[in-house]
Structure 1
Amino acid sequence: MSKNILICDDSGIARKQLSRILPTEWDAQVEFAKNGQEAIDRIGQHSTDVLFLDLNMPVMDGYQTLEALQSIANPPKVIVVSGDIQAQALERVKALGALEFLQKPVDPNLLKETLEAHHLLGLEDKQGALILGDAVEDFSLSQCLQEVSNVSMGRAASVLADMLNVFVKLPVPKVNILEVSELQMALTYGAMNDDRCSAVTQGFVGAGIAIEALLIFSDSSFPDMAKLLNVTEKIDRDMEIELLMDVSSVLIGPFIKALGNQLNIDFSYSHPIVMGQHVKVSDLINVKRAKWKRTLAVEIVYEVENYEINCDLMLLFTEDSLPVLERLLSYLVEEE
């Protein structure tokens, strides 16, 4: 019997990736939703057997969607597909009724095994999946970079969550080509609204791609950071530098490693340096104004649940990196 499948992910690239690795013999009709609200509306109007659900989405995220499904009669079986691999993320989605959790990017063999284990793929399935609608509209460097950044973000957050025994709240990565003035506006929005902040910067180079990673901490984060790291000494400027370096090594290193794995690049790197302490964001930008000018920027705001800890990770790619990035990321939308 044909199955009605719904793939819910804000990333068109992710929707395309998942739809093209569905078992070729699966007798299924596949449709798409760009956020949890679209998925709930679709499920309310049409019977849905299986929902593949992302976690980090605008409008309504995966956790909210799972909660909303609990009040729907005959809800679909839910398989979460996410780059957020924190142990607490897995526990939370299972507690909310998810059948299974698959890590992005999904291994086709594991996907098939999961469907068979939960009796969603029968031996009689031979027809093949019918894709209704477009999984992704067109190729875009920003779309592709956002998706690989989403996976890298999840890897880094998992390391931080394990180190501090916390849950890290993850956003949808923002990808934009920015002038230096726009970069300042981006950094002063949201988590970086505090007057003062401290920052660490580190450079990475590989295969024609040059990245400067800039991690900016709100100064109000230091007390809770020290508490979670079991620091009992007085938090002076030297201790703040130590805390900055500890957390930046966890967030930047695993992120770049995961990014390199997806691009098949081994990045070489410079030593991290403190770019400023207790300064305004505008002062940070002025330090590098002549160098940055115009850049491709990926922005991720990390927040630790139940603690006053937030930091802004900016990945700044040189203009010369763009053609190389576009070529390396093209595999995400290539047809098999």
Structure 2
Amino acid sequence: MTLKVTLCDDSKMARKQLLRTLPDDWDAEVHQAEHGEQALTCLREGRAEVLFLDLNMPVKDGYETLQAIKEEQLETLVIVVSGDIQPEAQKRVQALGAMAFVKKPMKPEDIQTLLQQFGLYQPAAGQLKLADETPQAPANPLDVYREVSNVAMGQAGDHLARVLDTFIELPVPNVNFIAPSELHMAIESIDTNKQVAAVSQGFSGSGILGEALTLFNDASIDDIGKLLGAKLGESGSIKQQRIESLMDVASILSSACLNGLGQQLHVEFAASQPVLLGEHQSMRELIKHGEHRWQKILAIEIGYQLPEHKLAFDLLLLFPADAVKILDQQLAHWLQGDDE
């Protein structure tokens, strides 16, 4: 009997990748959802006996969707597919009833083994069908950048979570092509009226030059210092500890995120030593330092939150126009590999 399957992810590229990992001879009909609310509609209408579910989505995320499934007692087998690979994230989805957790990017052999393990798939049992046969539009470049960033963000979040022994909430990455004068608008999670500190790290690889900015509002800096001091050991004056804390967090996030991007794009990024741009400044004052060097830029903004400690900070990756051209070429190779 043909299984009804729903793929739920806000990224069209991610759904496309997941679809390509499913066995062609799986007796299943595939539906698609862009967020948890749409997935719940599919469930209520009997179109999701098996649900592949992302975690970081707008409208209703994966955790909220799992909670709704549990409360409404909806019958489905949920396989979480996410770039958020923190051990705590896996524990949470399992507690909410998910059958399995698969990290992005997925491999066809892993998906096939998992489906066979749970008795959902037998080779040559049928043919995979798309419920919607409407021709798919070409991938939006921003959607591709967003999905690549999503995987890199998850790796960076996992690294920091292990260092600090805490759970980190991850957002949907905000990706835009913007002018330097609009840069402050890209940082939606930080109030530009507040005083902030920023740590800058230049990076390069395969002809790509860029800058990573880690941004902290003043209300968080002392708490971050206390948390890192407790985890990594305290030394030096209070001011030195404060600066070292900012440098440590910035280095962990930017290095792990760039490593995640590089693995997907086959680029080995090297980052410079972190530099404190300033403290107790407005966002516009901090951003001004780079405006003379950039024209149109690709800005990837990721907001990290530590709910147990009521902390938040942002990582902003900036790629100038000439770097974006090389990135586009690397993404083209990545997409061709995905097509094969």
Deviations 1:74-107 (A, max 9, x none): 4210000000000100000000000000000011
Task: Select which of 319, 322, 326 maps to 2:321.
Answer: 319
Higher mean C-alpha deviation, range 223-232 or range 299-308: 223-232
2:301 alignment counterpart:
299
1:221 alignment counterpart:
220
Higher mean C-alpha deviation, range 211-220 or range 96-105: 211-220
Contact 2:300-2:317 within 8 A present in 1 as well:
yes
1:8 alignment counterpart:
8
Q: Structure 2: how far apart are the matches of 1:43 and 1:135? A: 24
What is the letter of the counterpart of residue 189 of structure 2?
Answer: G
2:335 alignment counterpart:
332
Q: Secondary structure at the match of 1:10?
A: coil
2:146 alignment counterpart:
146
Higher mean C-alpha deviation, range 193-202 or range 25-34: 193-202
Mark the runs of 5 or more structure 2 residues left unpaired by the alignment: none
Higher mean C-alpha deviation, range 112-121 or range 220-229: 220-229
1:197 alignment counterpart:
196
Q: Structure 2: how far apart are the matches of 1:157 and 1:110? A: 23
What is the letter of the counterpart of residue 151 of structure 1?
Answer: V
Contact 2:56-2:170 within 8 A present in 1 as well:
yes
What is the letter of the counterpart of residue 54 of structure 2?
Answer: D
1:30 alignment counterpart:
30
Q: Structure 1: how far apart are the matches of 2:71 and 2:157? A: 31
1:156-235 alignment, distance < 5 Å: 156-187=156-187, 189-193=188-192, 195-229=194-228, 230=230
2:131 maps to 1:132:
yes
Contact 2:192-2:283 within 8 A present in 1 as well:
no
In the TM superposition, residue 131 of structure 1 has moved relative to its aligned partner by 1.6
In the TM superposition, residue 208 of structure 1 has moved relative to its aligned partner by 2.6
The 3 A distance-change label for structure 1 pair 254 and 136 is: farther
In the TM superposition, residue 193 of structure 1 has moved relative to its aligned partner by 4.3
In the TM superposition, residue 226 of structure 1 has moved relative to its aligned partner by 2.5
In the TM superposition, residue 267 of structure 1 has moved relative to its aligned partner by 1.5
What is the letter of the counterpart of residue 89 of structure 1?
Answer: A
Q: TM-score, normalised by structure 1?
A: 0.94
Contact 1:15-1:136 within 8 A present in 2 as well:
no
Contact 1:16-1:135 within 8 A present in 2 as well:
no
Q: Structure 2: how far apart are the matches of 1:121 and 1:150? A: 29
2:100 alignment counterpart:
100
In the TM superposition, residue 141 of structure 1 has moved relative to its aligned partner by 1.7
Task: Select which of 232, 243, 246 maps to 2:245.
Answer: 243
Higher mean C-alpha deviation, range 316-325 or range 66-75: 66-75
What is the letter of the counterpart of residue 287 of structure 1?
Answer: H
What is the letter of the counterpart of residue 318 of structure 1?
Answer: P
Higher mean C-alpha deviation, range 268-277 or range 27-36: 268-277
Q: Secondary structure at the match of 1:291?
A: coil
Q: TM-score, normalised by structure 2?
A: 0.93
In the TM superposition, residue 203 of structure 1 has moved relative to its aligned partner by 1.2
In the TM superposition, residue 205 of structure 1 has moved relative to its aligned partner by 1.3
Contact 2:222-2:242 within 8 A present in 1 as well:
no
Q: Structure 1: how far apart are the matches of 2:114 and 2:173? A: 28
Q: Secondary structure at the match of 1:70?
A: helix
Q: Structure 2: how far apart are the matches of 1:225 and 1:233? A: 15
Task: Select which of 259, 262, 266 maps to 1:264.
Answer: 266
Contact 1:225-1:243 within 8 A present in 2 as well:
yes
Q: Structure 2: how far apart are the matches of 1:136 and 1:312? A: 34
Contact 2:174-2:300 within 8 A present in 1 as well:
yes
The 3 A distance-change label for structure 1 pair 37 and 246 is: same
The 3 A distance-change label for structure 1 pair 227 and 237 is: closer
Higher mean C-alpha deviation, range 306-315 or range 94-103: 306-315
What is the letter of the counterpart of residue 309 of structure 2?
Answer: Y
Q: Secondary structure at the match of 1:191?
A: coil
Q: Structure 1: how far apart are the matches of 2:135 and 2:242? A: 46
Task: Select which of 266, 276, 279 maps to 2:278.
Answer: 276
Contact 1:12-1:135 within 8 A present in 2 as well:
no
**Percent identity for Structure 1 against Structure 2:** 40
In the TM superposition, residue 132 of structure 1 has moved relative to its aligned partner by 2.3
Q: Structure 2: how far apart are the matches of 1:223 and 1:194? A: 19
Q: Structure 2: how far apart are the matches of 1:200 and 1:62? A: 32
The 3 A distance-change label for structure 1 pair 102 and 235 is: farther
Contact 1:27-1:129 within 8 A present in 2 as well:
yes
Q: Secondary structure at the match of 2:175?
A: strand
The 3 A distance-change label for structure 1 pair 141 and 47 is: closer
2:68 maps to 1:89:
no
Q: Structure 2: how far apart are the matches of 1:251 and 1:311? A: 10
Higher mean C-alpha deviation, range 167-176 or range 43-52: 43-52
Q: Structure 2: how far apart are the matches of 1:191 and 1:285? A: 13
How many positions carry a matched residue from both structures?
334
The 3 A distance-change label for structure 1 pair 68 and 273 is: same
Q: Pairwise CA RMSD of aligned residues?
A: 1.9
Deviations 1:47-80 (A, max 9, x none): 4210000000000000000001113344210000
